[in-house]
Amino acid sequence: MKIGLTAFSIVALFHWAEAQTGEIVISGRVKEVASGKNVKARIAYKSIPTGGISGSFYDSTYKFSIFGSSKYQVIATADNYIPKAVLVDPKLLNGQTTVVKDIILTPRGQTIRLDKLLFMQGKSGIDPSSFDELDEVAAMLNENKTMIIQLEGHTDAQGNAKANMELSQDRVDAVKKYLVSKKVSKNQVKTKAFGGTMPVTKGKTPKDRDMNRRVEMRVLSEN
């Protein structure tokens, strides 16, 4: 005797399959970068790439549950702050069932240092450990199609000034190329190189030089 699947049984089977992966609870706070104070924001989450599951809050905290293996993005938008996205990939959680993802907002008019962006020593190749942070920048730009940013490259002051200027340009060009590969419009990303001309510290220690080697993101326009 053949046993057919009814619409009800198919839905039940789908939910059973989801349940086998377990529930993962995602939560976090929206905070200002300098003070750490809570910021009330419009918080929207959705599964990617389809956006089949979504939700929103208006608060300084958020919490929701996910099932299955889909990635999720969470974007916070608040008046007078630059929007910020964070991503959650269940495949990278190593069995965690609770994940805290705070969203750090920077006031408009300030630059954002891409702290997790690393390059090969003396080269423009992006270290793979940087991809998560760049993916979050890409998500933010893809949700804000009218936003235009400028990537600003800096090196330390050691070595040849001309070579440092070229290296900082090559690095921001490499970051732009990566963002465009994630479906960001090339018209949304401008680049500018500073070499070692704008240090954040004039110290000579390895830590000082590391602080000066950086890529910063400046929002030029959101209209």
Tell me, what's the pLDDT at 95? 87
* Least confident among 14-28, 48-62, 208-222: 14-28
Q: Which of 5-14, 36-45, 104-113, 164-173 has the lowest mean pLDDT?
A: 5-14
Q: Would you list the domain boundaries of the chain?
A: 23-107, 112-221
CATH topology of domain 23-107: Immunoglobulin-like (2.60.40)
Asked whether the domain spanning 112-221 has the same topology as the one spanning 23-107, the reply is: no
Q: Which CATH number, 3.40.50.300, 2.60.40.10, 3.40.50.261, 3.30.1330.60, labels domain 112-221?
A: 3.30.1330.60
Q: Which tokens belong to 132?
A: 């998560």
pLDDT tens readout for residues 149-193: 999 999 999 999 999 999 999 999 999 999 999 999 999 999 999
Whole-prediction pTM value?
0.87
pLDDT tens digit sequence for 66-85: 988 899 999 999 999 999 99
